Amino acid sequence: MDFKLLKEMLKRVLLVTFTAAILACQAAPKPQQLVEGIPNIKPDEQQGLVLKEIVTLIENYNYKKIPLNDSISSLILDKYVKSLDPYRSYFLASDIKDFEQFRFTLDDSFRAGDLSAPFYIFNVYSKRYNETLDYAMAQIKDKYDFNKNDTYVFDREKMPWVTSVSALNEIWKKRVKYELINLKIAGTTEAKNVETLTKRYQNLKSQSAKLNNQDVFQMVMDAFTETIDPHTNYFNPANAERFNEDMARSFEGIGARLQLENDILKIAEIIPGGPAFKSKLLNTGDRIVAVAQATGDFEDIIGWRIESSVAKIKGPKGTKVRLKIIPVGQDMSSKPVVIELTREKIIMEDQSAKKEVKTIQSDGHTYKIGVISVPAFYADFKAANAGDPNYKSTTRDVKLLLDTLKRIDKVDAIMMDLRANGGGSLVESIDLTGLFIDKGPVVQVKDLKGQIQVNSDENAGVAWSGPMGVMVDRLSASASEIFAGAIQDYGRGIIIGTQTYGKGTVQSSINLNNLLNPSLVQRLAMLIQKSSGAAVKVNGANAAAAPPQLGQINLTMAKFYRVNGSSTQHKGVMPDIVLPSFYPLDKIGEDTEPSALAWDEIRQSNFIPVADLSGLKPELIKRHDARMEKSLDYKALMDDIESMKKREQETSVTLNETKLKAERDSLEAKNLDKINKLRASRGLPAVKKGDKIKKDENFDFIQDESLHVLADLMGLEPKPSPKVNP
């Protein structure tokens, strides 16, 4: 799609609506219905403004072009309430009845930028949430009879809303009992169990108290956009930054992964090669209690939200940050150690494409197969647009791996592992396909006007011309399906695994700030500053207000189709060799989403297949089935799938300690027996309960069988190769 043209079109439309909205900001906002007894979270003018503009974008530029109306309003309300309380453990029936006043008015409210209704609903939820936690904490020290034959219903999704506080309390009393039984079965003392559970609930209350209007706004927008379609999503500024870092597989900071533990920021992992790693001043488990910039004052961050702390620690490469650290193993009352680090650009290699070489024996032949695991279709667009010759992308990473596998490892075949790859960049899926085919169409895109554009690999030649396979599963989606579909349509390789997710839609990432005239955004900033009364003084004069960050929307604006004309929407890509899916197909996938677009097809594009592998499929399936009949791993996987299906049907659990422990012991014994039978089949010694299995002893059955299928393919035919230009 021509995004520059799209951007200019959106600018023209939004300039008018945004100007009107900014002027409307000066009007008095609609009073919000308040919830007694709690500090009410309220929306701000900026959020109302963003909401209005997203309504405009969705009504005019979403692929569905659905106008907001009463029926959409009703769906948004149901989705929002369910997102807050999916198992009906907090709201009362009277609350749900109260919310009915908004069932057919959210469309009008959203169009006007009015967020009072969903914020009121959240505040009711917040009150119920904290009331139930307070009640639960008060029950922890009670004496319980763990020999009674009562049960706890943990999944109440399909049950009626409770009608009284006393009925809700009864549910939570049983939940407390269940959690205490779990701790008791683990073998800890009663006093320790009380302490552990109390801290758990205190931490939940603490996290709840940190929620702000940006969090609530994100929840509201999720319910709104996902009602329209599953992949149109708004990201508030903090979430937009995380999304773009994930896409780029890089960020600028100190190179450490952080986690919050009892309101203290803790180093969870040091990223190799980053400033924290090279300095040797930080260790996993160290606690950060205060942060300062190069010359600023320290700010105590104990009790802060993790996002707020991380925002202080991250920053542009080349800048300095100072940290106060309580080293791991030292008491929190110890004197902090002050360290200084210079931020750098951190490449997340652990989340990038990787290779390994596997050896497979088949029909008396030994094959070396290079396995390339691709976790996502990522690209650092910011670095690429800036002209960085070494910008990071999936295709560039895979090309380097292919070169090593071909020239150094001298493999016979390549297996691309796209399991759990949820997609990413459409451009990257096209470029990656181009490493395996000569020039030609890869994917067709139909925009909201019905116009079809064929996106092709324009680069002659291939990086790998030998045999190949592609592994997929139910979580392989979007760009993964484009790649797998093209490889299948061209007859370039064999597809192995389970039916893919079925996401056949294209999203454009739109930074709302970039659509607007800077002077207009500055005017909004001044209005917001005036409204809040938070003018900043510099040398006695009012400073210019910082431009507000409006966030980003990923807007569904097109559908993609395979070169054979079929949409992957709903149906996904069906593998040539089908393996069992551990993920339930009736619960995970595009066809389980009520708001998903339908499947359809268009004309086939003008492409020339490399080969026709369909004649080999019956023999490949026959050999695969023969292996499965004798495979202990296959039987174990099928047993696991059957057990999982049974567990999914369960909605309650016994609160009788003896029965619960017997059930757990039986499951553990069954699982241990299964593990040892599988280990014996591979010549490994048996393990006992509690033993840790070494990483190099883990066995990937799905990968192993996929490699055997690829070996079968190599043994069945002389491999046709795509033309390679000299």
Catalytic residues: 478, 489, 503
Question: Looking at residue 279, what DSSP letter applies?
Answer: H
With contact defined as beta carbons under 8 Å apart, do 314 and 305 qualify? no
Q: What angle do CA 717, 719, 722 make, to 5 degrees?
A: 150
Beta strand 344-347 with 413-417: parallel, antiparallel or unpaired? unpaired
The whole-angstrom separation of Cα 598 and Cα 16 is 34
Angle (deg, nearest 10), helices 3-24 and 518-532: 30
Buried b (16+ CB within 10 A) or exposed e, 682-717: eeeeeeeeeeeeeeeeeeeebbebbbbbbbbbbeee
CA atoms within 13 A on the CB side of 173: 12
Place of tokens 């399936």: 621
With contact defined as beta carbons under 8 Å apart, do 471 and 420 qualify? no
CA atoms within 13 A on the CB side of 603: 7
Q: Which two tokens stand for residue 618?
A: 């019956």
**β-bridge partners, 552:** 235, 511
Residues belonging to the chain = 726
**β-bridge partners, 356:** 371
Question: Strands, DSSP E only, in 590-631?
Answer: none
Q: Which two tokens stand for residue 562?
A: 């395979």
Q: Residue 443: in which H helix or E strand, if any?
A: strand 440-447
Of residues 352, 629, 578, 595, the one with CA closest to residue 474: 578
The whole-angstrom separation of Cα 144 and Cα 176 is 10
Place of tokens 């319980």: 144
SS3 content of the chain, % helix, strand, coil (to 5): 45, 20, 40
Residue type, 721: S
